[in-house]
Amino acid sequence: MPARLLPRLLAGCAVVLGVVTLSFVLLHLAPGDPAAQLAGPAATPAQVEALRVQLGLDRAAPVQFVSWLSRAVRGDWGVSLATGRPVARMLREAWPATALLVGLSLGLSYLVGIGIALRQATGPRRNDTRLSVLTTALFAMPAYWLGTVLVWGLAYQFQILPAFGAAGLDADFLPPVARLIDGLRHLALPLLTLTLLGIGGAARFVRGALLDVEGAPFLLAARARGLPEARVHWRHLLRNALGPVVTLLGLSLPALFSGAVFVEGIFAWPGVGRILILAVLARDTPVVLAAVTVSAVLVVLGNLLADVLRTWVDPRLSHA
Amino acid sequence: MPELLRDGRARFGLAVLIVVVSIAVLAPFVSGRDPAAQGDIVATRFLTPFSTDPAGSFHLLGTDRLGRDVWTRLAHGARISLIVGVLATLLALTVGITIGTVAAVAGGPLRLGLLAVTDFALALPRVVLLLLLAALWRPGGTLVVVVLGLTGWMSVARLVYGESSALLARPFASAAIALGASRRRIILRHLLPNTMTPIIVAAALGIGNAITLEAGLSFLGLGVQPPAPSWGGMISSGRDSIVNAPWVALAPGVALVLVVLACMLLGDAIRDRVARRAEMVT
């Protein structure tokens, strides 16, 4: 299996490098002067110039890129223009929150999505149509709107969940169990939003994969042998449809991550997406560059994971 | 077409789209007001739906924090959403079809290169790229169209490449090549007409996506700039008053979900119908 994964790993590295290069070029093409921005409106031209030299912004773009890259590889990601904090530390603190949110929601939405899709592919046709409209409607919902509606309903109307943040103001003073519960309560709304959106996509994908397998002769054979319908569904239908589903799971990661950016933004969830939005609005270029890189790395890692999972789900692949 | 109308999803999708497009086209007529006109802020802010303000004008969907009529803004916002969605999708289709067909027709390094670029672009989270582009240049309608178009072509390119490669292996394509048809003729007369249906399906889904993302950019303040009414901007400003005036954020969201749902269901219906026809032929 490692031999099969090696080219994927190299391709993943190439994608990350490509993303970084593209972002760097775009940041360079864009109007605006980071040195002037960092120096502030009161700075004299001489001060701005000195800062430019200090930051290395006076050098040619390729030189800057190589030096940024070599520092980035060693873990030095520069300093945020907006907050003055080291970028590496900001992202080190942020990425677990994003990985937790996206990972949990991916798992949950596929669990529920597979359940819905099984009902659709094997149940009566009217059921299928109704559920299709439901999942498509979920798929069609923008993350920031669904989040807003859920906040309105669950946080303000019924007041059962906190509306934003990752911990209550008193979290540091709570005993461990209460602190965990506080954390879970804060996780609930962002996770629910992202999962509901994910269910829409997951059920649509899985339904397609199930219908592709539905006509296969081995299902007819299984039914002819008199196997109970439930066993046919779980062992024969679903098992054979899982391969493409896992691949789609990997492919849907970028979309899920896109949703997470908005969800983190509106729920003030302290992840990479929120950092990206804030940095973009503040034109904080070092942070933008770093957040884009980290999100590309997370997506590539997720895809690799899907690849490993796929060989596990479909052992035939490891013999191919 | 009549066959398509037997599908409930297609009927729903077409009906919603026809209504929304009519409202967008007739926006100045369905509501006589100016979408940016602010009323007397104290007397007309946050009026509930179906209420009449002191000046005697009726507000079907109420007013927002500046006393602007939500229905009027919704109708004018439909124009922006639809125009941006359609133009961005057209741009994405143009780029995607070009890259897809060229990759299918050309062999060797050009094909590999184009497919690699497509896969690379497909691996990026689209919103990350959108944020990057929208933040760096001055926000506005044209930028949003270009940015959405340039981040939405990949799936079309993959689709067109797959379809075109399959078509090139069919006897009629071989016959055309054997008869000495030019590449240009093969592309224009043999490949494109036969890939039209999947392209239409992809376009329907693409418009839905583009409308959501345009609203998303406006939601973050990176899209069409205020006071121009856009659905995303309306949701964003309505979010602050979600507790005492939920209709300001709910109305544009419902409109958005309806339009996107209509596009997707219509696309699904067309795709299923084509699949069924293909089954009958083979």
Residue pair B208/B148 in contact (Cβ under 8 Å)? The answer is no
Is residue B87 over pLDDT 90? yes
pLDDT digits (tens, 9 = 90+) for B5-54: 777 888 888 898 899 888 888 877 777 677 776 766 666 677 777 677 66
Q: What gap in Å lies between CA A148 and CA A155, rounded to an integer?
A: 10
Q: What gap in Å lies between CA B101 and CA B160, rounded to an integer?
A: 6
Q: What gap in Å lies between CA A276 and CA B54, rounded to an integer?
A: 45
pLDDT for position B31? 72
Mean pLDDT by 10 residues, chain A (320 residues): 72 83 80 71 79 75 82 81 83 87 90 89 81 86 86 77 71 75 82 89 85 83 87 84 80 79 86 86 82 82 80 71
Contacts of A280 in chain B (CB under 8 A): 131-132, 134-135, 220, 222
Residue pair B52/B35 in contact (Cβ under 8 Å)? The answer is no
- By CA distance, what is A303's nearest residue in B? B123
Min Cα separation B1/chain A (Å):
21
Residue found by looking up tokens 């239409």 in the block: B200
Residue type, A31: P
| Average of per-residue pLDDT across B93-118 | 87
User: Among A88-92, A175-179, B187-191, B210-214, where is mean pLDDT lowest?
Assistant: A175-179
| Average of per-residue pLDDT across B226-235 | 81
Q: What gap in Å lies between CA A101 and CA A268, rounded to an integer?
A: 13
Cβ within 8 Å, pair A18-B260: no
Determine the residue among A33, A144, A252, A263 to mutate to test chain B binding: the one whose Cβ has the most chain B Cβ atoms within 10 Å: A144
pLDDT for position B247? 83
Whether the CA torsion A294, A298, A303, A304 is positive or negative: it is positive
Copy the structure tokens of residue A117. Answer: 């899709």
C-alpha torsion A284→A286→A289→A290, nearest 10: -110
Min Cα separation A81/chain B (Å):
15
**pLDDT interval class at B282 (50, 70, 90):** very low
pTM confidence score: 0.81
- Side-chain-side CA neighbours of A234 within 13 Å: the count stands at 5
Residue type, A290: A
Contacts of A26 in chain B (CB under 8 A): 132-133, 136
Determine the residue among B112, B128, B218, B244 to mutate to test chain A binding: the one whose Cβ has the most chain A Cβ atoms within 10 Å: B128
Residue of B254, B262, B260 lying closest to B85 (CA atoms): B260
Long-range contacts of range A71-76, CB-CB < 8 Å, 24 or more positions apart? A72/A20, A72/A290, A72/A293
Q: Which of B126, B242, B257 sits opposite A258 (nearest CB)?
A: B126
What separation in angstroms does the CA of A11 have from each of A6, A17, A178, A304, B232? 9, 10, 44, 10, 36
- By CA distance, what is B130's nearest residue in A? A258
pLDDT for position B43? 66
User: Among A44-58, B26-40, B114-128, B244-258, where is mean pLDDT lowest?
Assistant: B26-40
Task: Write the ipTM.
Answer: 0.79
| Average of per-residue pLDDT across B126-146 | 78
CB atoms within 10 A of CB A208: 15
Residue found by looking up tokens 């934003």 in the block: A164
Residue type, A100: L
Q: What gap in Å lies between CA A276 and CA A292, rounded to an integer?
A: 7
The better pLDDT of the pair A51, B110 is held by B110
**pLDDT interval class at B79 (50, 70, 90):** confident
Contacts of A140 in chain B (CB under 8 A): 208, 212, 257, 260-261, 264
Length of chain A: 320
Output the 3-class SS for chain A. CHHHHHHHHHHHHHHHHHHHHHHHHHHHHCCCCHHHHHHCCCCCHHHHHHHHHHHCCCCCHHHHHHHHHHHHHCCCCCECCCCCCEHHHHHHHHHHHHHHHHHHHHHHHHHHHHHHHHHHHHCCHHHHHHHHHHHHHHHHCCHHHHHHHHHHHHHHHCCCCCCCCCCCCCHHHCCHHHHHHHHHHHHHHHHHHHHHHHHHHHHHHHHHHHHHHHCCHHHHHHHHCCCCHHHHHHHHHHHHHHHHHHHHHHHCHHHHHHHHHHHHHHHCCCCHHHHHHHHHHCCCHHHHHHHHHHHHHHHHHHHHHHHHHHHHHCCHHHHC
Q: What is the bridge-based pairing of β-strands B51-52 and B58-59?
A: antiparallel
pLDDT for position B41? 67
Cβ within 8 Å, pair A152-B242: yes
